[in-house]
Chains A and B, each alone.
Chain A
Amino acid sequence: MQTAIRFDPERLPPRTRALREEVREFLREEAAAGTFDPARAYKARGFDRGFSHRVAEKGWIGLTWPKKYGGQERSFLDRYVVSEEFTAACAPVGCHFVADRQSGPVIIRYAREEVKEEVLPKIIAGDACFCIGMSEPGSGSDLFAAATKAERVEGGFRVNGTKIWTSNAHRADYMIALFRTSAPTRENRRHGLTQFLVDMKTPGIKCSPIRNMAGGSEFNEVHFTDMFVPETMVLGEVDDAWKQATAELAYERSGPERFLDTYFVLTAMMKVLGENPDPRTAESLGRLVAQLHTMRRMSVSVAGMLEQGKEPVLEASIVKDLGTVWEQALPGRARDIAAFHDGSAPLGANAPSFEDVLDYATLVAPKLTIQGGTTEILRGIIARGLGLR
């Protein structure tokens, strides 16, 4: 009779503590060496091939992947620890993050053997940056409206069309892209899309940067003009990409980056409030800590279910819905909580002020409930999980 939502009390195993300490020590060393400035890293969220190489040398990319491709077959919970430490520290993971989280797993599951042998070791070495070619000017949440066409030609496909909002496309080595290989059928409008692995050095690709309202330009519009993709680069079944999408979403949607993107505002706020806040302020802080702690426990619980080989699609969607709404609201709440404190002083030597941090977080917050599946789409998935659709 009860709705089947499960969040078991997963505890990260004690062995992960040593790993966590190792990651923290690594980040301290990187900061000391000047790779990134912890006080300002929130703004950069850097893209640094050197950093990604050193992460790779530690063995922290593709941690859970099969040994035969260079992975370590370690637990998904180990990966969780590495990922949350990097995310909370705003470490410059831009070059390897997407490949490690989702592109690699897609390749492991759907690529041809020779492609796996070529590409996976590059990712694990920190040499292959990935971008995701899903959205198009006329197709965002409605993924099945994708119109970029891949026509069969001798030995492969010829691609024409445009992808948009593609983070890091201008510096990525590969894209995992969704192209239309057939028209949708009357019975199934999801039919006719195919996933491809695209080498970004292929002739016929042009990237145009899009500046965003927070001043960044990771976004791109990517134009394909008669680009050739060999048959071997098809991922999974031609025309049947819709069957492949769902399981990966649990990985993509439930991770620590889904509620920690504005964490830096919380710690900056605490520095302004000091060690003896008044009751109103202390109570507000306590609520934020309780909400964050519970979010994280939910996310760890999903990681545990993934580790056990389950497919907690409903639970993962709930984590992303709650988590992104929370991290989006955090700057506004910090603004209210700290309203009667002076937030203009630097928060340390060469550090920005709370006001600087808050202003930046305020500008990035609107995207958090859009990227990787909008709130509305997620809630639709949750409603389906409840049996309403």
Chain B
Amino acid sequence: MSDDSIVVETTRRIFADLADPQTLTSATDDAWKAGLWSALEAAGLTLAWVPEAAGGAGAEMADGFDVLRISGQYAAPAPIAETLLAALTLARAGIALPEGAMTVGPIRDGDVLRLADGKITGRARAVPFAAEAAHLAAMVEDASGVAHVALIPLGEAAATARDADLGAARADLHFDGAVPAALAPAPADFGAEDFRRLGAVIRVQQMAGGLETALDLCTRYVQERVAFGKPIGKFQAVQQNLARLAGEVAAALTAASSSADTLARWTEGDADITPEDLFLECAAAKIRAGEAANEGAAIAHQAHGAIGFTNEYVLQRFTRTLFGWRDDFGGEARWALNLGNAMAARGADALWPALTRR
């Protein structure tokens, strides 16, 4: 994680100035949204991964991943991750980028959008920021199973907001013969699997960032809150729980940095990374970061007592969002099933060589 890059510094500053969690939690309206988004856009962060020739910032993959981890430290109140992924997906397929924020889909296991006669039908559950974005960049599948990239105006979807709010302003979208604004075959080097894998690694960065802040909130709170005559952080039981939380944060940070590094190198054509290496890194990262989100959120709430369960305190922004991110682009169980099957097929003696490739 290259802390000193300009992209990272800019991102930190924008989020610190315009996305302070307490300010957002106390806000009585959504006026902050426009300010935050236009600052991110003006800095070129929303199109960081798009080549300059296609109207983007042409940033390194690694810089984009850093931006995403920082967005996670603020529970990502704007569709920065979704727009980054959407823009890269469209640009790879040679589709011109529309103005404004975008979202992506399908991102949940079992959802498929089918393409027939140039029209799209199917469902995409839990699409983030569906009401704020103007377009959906979608991986769709034709009758013979070939992947296409479609740019779909969100007005074409029947949207139902999710019942419970697990962050990211999600809605279930249904398409019934929707007409895309643009359509192109997915390129060989960026198909449905690449889309899902990149999406997973993006969420891992954000989960790691969210967990960093959860730990930060906990360490501050337990030093301020007094019970039985001393700050609760002086009690060993509380200290031991926060040490466990630090372990989960560390695991998520490692999953994030390791998978981001591997995927960035793979994208840049590093021949040293095999498809098996890439799969292990991304699967392990999504599984372990998801587990860290589970454990970490539980510990963070325990440390905060009842205040953490209130809407006025900021912890809920982070834990709700972490819960939602776990299930995007394949949950832990799905990735674990695939990873377990792959490792079993290669056999017990192949496990150690696979683990020690890097």
Instruction: Give the interface of A toward B (CB within 8 A).
Output: 1-3, 5-9, 11-12, 14, 20, 81, 84-85, 88, 266-268, 270-271, 273-277, 279, 281-287, 289-298, 301, 314-315, 318, 321-322, 376, 378-380, 382-383, 385-389
> How many contacts A-B (CB < 8 Å)?
181
- Contacts A3-B212, A8-B1, A388-B219 hold; do A287 and B344 have CB atoms under 8 A apart? no
A-B contact list, 9 entries, CB within 8 Å: A2-B73, A7-B254, A9-B262, A281-B340, A284-B336, A289-B343, A294-B284, A379-B244, A383-B240
Residue of B338, B344, B345 with most chain A CB atoms under a 10 A cut-off: B344
Check A292 against B344 for contact (C-beta < 8 Å).
no
- Contacts A266-B351, A283-B336, A285-B340 hold; do A290 and B239 have CB atoms under 8 A apart? no
Q: Which residues of A contact B272 (CB under 8 A)?
A: 14
Check B254 against A297 for contact (C-beta < 8 Å).
yes
Q: Which residues of B contact A322 (CB under 8 A)?
A: 247, 250-251
Check B340 against A282 for contact (C-beta < 8 Å).
yes
Residue of B215, B238, B257, B337 with most chain A CB atoms under a 10 A cut-off: B337
Residue of B240, B249, B332 with most chain A CB atoms under a 10 A cut-off: B240
Q: Which residues of A contact B219 (CB under 8 A)?
A: 3, 386-388
Check B243 against A9 for contact (C-beta < 8 Å).
no
Q: Which chain B residue has the least Cβ–Cβ distance from A347?
A: B348
- Report B147 CB to chain A, min CB distance, Å: 25
Check B243 against A379 for contact (C-beta < 8 Å).
yes
Q: Which residues of B contact A85 (CB under 8 A)?
A: 356
Docked complex Cα distance between A382 and B254 (Å): 17
- Report A388 CB to chain B, min CB distance, Å: 4
Check A20 against B356 for contact (C-beta < 8 Å).
yes
Residue of B239, B242, B243, B255 with most chain A CB atoms under a 10 A cut-off: B243
Of the residues B288, B337, B340, B341, contact of A294 by C-beta under 8 Å: B288
Of the residues A268, A315, A388, contact of B242 by C-beta under 8 Å: A388
- Contacts A88-B352, A386-B242, A388-B222 hold; do A315 and B340 have CB atoms under 8 A apart? no
Check B222 against A286 for contact (C-beta < 8 Å).
no
Q: Which residues of B contact A285 (CB under 8 A)?
A: 336, 339-340, 343-344
Check A5 against B253 for contact (C-beta < 8 Å).
yes
Of the residues B216, B242, B340, contact of A284 by C-beta under 8 Å: B340
Interface residues on B, range: 35 or more
Docked complex Cα distance between A74 and B258 (Å): 25
Instruction: Give the interface of B toward A (CB within 8 A).
Output: 1, 73, 212-213, 215-216, 219, 222-223, 233-234, 236, 238-240, 242-244, 246-247, 249-251, 253-255, 257-258, 260-262, 272, 280-281, 283-285, 287-288, 291, 332-333, 335-341, 343-345, 347-349, 351-352, 355-356, 358
Check A286 against B335 for contact (C-beta < 8 Å).
yes
Q: Which residues of B contact A321 (CB under 8 A)?
A: 243-244, 247
Q: Which residues of A contact B337 (CB under 8 A)?
A: 279, 282-283, 286
Q: Which chain B residue has the least Cβ–Cβ distance from A14?
A: B272
Docked complex Cα distance between A286 and B332 (Å): 9
Check B243 against A8 for contact (C-beta < 8 Å).
no
Check B340 against A289 for contact (C-beta < 8 Å).
yes
Check A7 against B250 for contact (C-beta < 8 Å).
yes
Check A380 against B239 for contact (C-beta < 8 Å).
yes
**For the complex of A and B, 7 pairs with smallest distance between CB atoms:** A286-B340, A286-B336, A282-B340, A379-B243, A286-B339, A383-B239, A9-B261
- Report A79 CB to chain B, min CB distance, Å: 15
Check B239 against A293 for contact (C-beta < 8 Å).
no
Docked complex Cα distance between A11 and B260 (Å): 13
Check B247 against A9 for contact (C-beta < 8 Å).
no
Docked complex Cα distance between A11 and B291 (Å): 24
Check B257 against A7 for contact (C-beta < 8 Å).
yes
Check A5 against B249 for contact (C-beta < 8 Å).
yes
- Contacts A11-B261, A297-B258 hold; do A388 and B223 have CB atoms under 8 A apart? yes
Check A270 against B212 for contact (C-beta < 8 Å).
no
- Contacts A2-B213, A286-B338, A296-B355 hold; do A385 and B258 have CB atoms under 8 A apart? no
Docked complex Cα distance between A11 and B264 (Å): 14
Check B284 against A293 for contact (C-beta < 8 Å).
yes
Apart from A293-B281, A383-B242, A386-B243: 14 A-B pairs, beta carbons within 8 A? A2-B73, A2-B216, A3-B219, A8-B1, A9-B262, A12-B358, A267-B351, A270-B343, A277-B341, A281-B340, A282-B336, A291-B291, A294-B251, A386-B219
Docked complex Cα distance between A358 and B1 (Å): 40
Check B258 against A277 for contact (C-beta < 8 Å).
no
Q: Which chain B residue has the least Cβ–Cβ distance from A281?
A: B340
Q: Which residues of B contact A295 (CB under 8 A)?
A: 251
Q: Which chain A residue has the least Cβ–Cβ distance from B208?
A: A7
- Contacts A2-B212, A11-B358, A386-B243 hold; do A286 and B348 have CB atoms under 8 A apart? no
Q: Which chain B residue has the least Cβ–Cβ distance from A7?
A: B254
- Contacts A274-B344, A294-B251 hold; do A5 and B73 have CB atoms under 8 A apart? no
- Contacts A282-B344, A383-B240 hold; do A290 and B339 have CB atoms under 8 A apart? yes
Q: Which chain A residue has the least Cβ–Cβ distance from B209?
A: A2
Q: Which residues of B contact A380 (CB under 8 A)?
A: 236, 239-240, 243
Q: Which residues of B contact A296 (CB under 8 A)?
A: 355-356
Docked complex Cα distance between A81 and B357 (Å): 11
